[in-house]
């Protein structure tokens, strides 16, 4: 599988209103040093919704350049406009990404047939590995296992899915509906190990922005058959996973990275700083894992 293990849904550092290239490159380098299995720029965690097209392309370009082939790069390229998604996916291919992550169309509320036609159009237009991203809690649209299975069988370059329903029933049905070798990646940190236990391939992780070593180690332990050790690490990280979503992602994780000295704390409206009550809770959780003093 091209996409497996722990892949970080990278934040996009900002400074004085612009992308902070130095902090971003340093974050990528640290991720690789810590043993991460892949990187995902310009997803939800990367605040793709408030990046300009020029910034979007630059963020992907920096990531590919800094990684220099050491781990796979799965570039965010989705849109609720099929033609725009094709354009962004063509850019990802031209820039040298290993694949493109494609959000299900938001706001439009397409039917299952509309979803099939959307992803098939992208797959036919751009010869690059594609990974649909199913997160109905953000999009108001749930791509059902039968639809994904149809796409996986009809379009050879649709090679995986980021399954972020948090529903292990749907995860199980998705794995059963898709061909062998299809990558089913958890989109929720706390379901990473449970999903792998029923045939999933790994996780596109928020938590690994701040603990890449631990998330990659959990996936490695599972792959090595050290299930009790993997489960113990899952439980150790559980409260931290919850802390990363105490307010809308990526507010908590960017706050954590700022507290760790990895970047300035800067979000783009309509996202705003973490509330004081949640900030105290987050600090306690970070101290528990020795991430801050």
Catalytic residue set: 133, 162
154: Cβ–Cβ under 8 A, 6 or more apart, which residues?
120
- Closest to 88 measured CA to CA, from 111, 55, 116: 55
Cα–Cα dist 162/24, whole Å = 23
What are the distances in angstroms from CA 7 to CA 34, 125, 182, 185, 206? 12, 26, 16, 9, 9
- Closest to 129 measured CA to CA, from 178, 183, 199: 183
Hey, CA dihedral for 88, 191, 202, 233, is it positive or negative? positive
Q: Where are the strands (E) in 34-151, listed by range? A: 38-40, 74-76, 99-103, 130-134
Cα–Cα dist 222/259, whole Å = 31
Cα–Cα dist 4/219, whole Å = 9
Q: Report the number of secondary-structure helices (H) and strands (E) in the chain.
A: 12, 10
């Amino acid at each position: 599988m091209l996409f497996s293990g722990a892949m970080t849904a990278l934040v996009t550092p900002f400074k004085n209103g612009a992308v902070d290239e130095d902090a971003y490159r340093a974050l990528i380098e640290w991720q690789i040093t810590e043993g991460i299995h892949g990187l995902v720029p310009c997803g939800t965690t990367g605040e793709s919704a408030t990046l300009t097209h020029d910034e979007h392309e630059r963020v992907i370009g920096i990531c590919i350049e800094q990684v220099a082939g050491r781990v796979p790069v799965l570039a965010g390229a989705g849109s609720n406009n099929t033609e725009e998604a094709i354009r962004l996916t063509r850019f990802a291919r031209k820039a040298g990404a290993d694949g493109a992550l494609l959000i299900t169309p938001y706001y439009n509320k397409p039917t299952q047939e509309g979803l099939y036609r959307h992803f098939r159009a992208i797959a036919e237009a751009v010869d690059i590995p594609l990974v649909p991203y199913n997160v109905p809690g953000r999009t108001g649209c749930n791509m059902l296992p039968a639809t994904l299975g149809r796409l996986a069988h009809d379009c050879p370059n649709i090679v995986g899915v980021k399954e972020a329903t948090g529903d292990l029933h749907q995860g199980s049905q998705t794995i059963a509906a898709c061909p062998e070798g299809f990558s089913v990646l958890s989109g929720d940190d706390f379901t990473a190990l449970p999903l792998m236990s029923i045939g999933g391939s790994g996780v596109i992780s928020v938590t690994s922005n701040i603990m890449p070593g631990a998330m990659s180690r959990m996936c490695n332990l599972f792959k090595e058959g050290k299930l009790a050790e993997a489960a113990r690490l899952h439980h150790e990280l559980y409260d931290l996973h919850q802390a990363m979503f105490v307010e809308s992602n990526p507010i908590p994780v960017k706050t954590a990275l700022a507290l760790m000295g990895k970047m300035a704390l800067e979000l783009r409206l309509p996202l705003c700083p973490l509330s004081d009550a949640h900030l105290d809770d987050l600090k306690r959780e970070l101290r528990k894992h020795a991430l801050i003093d």
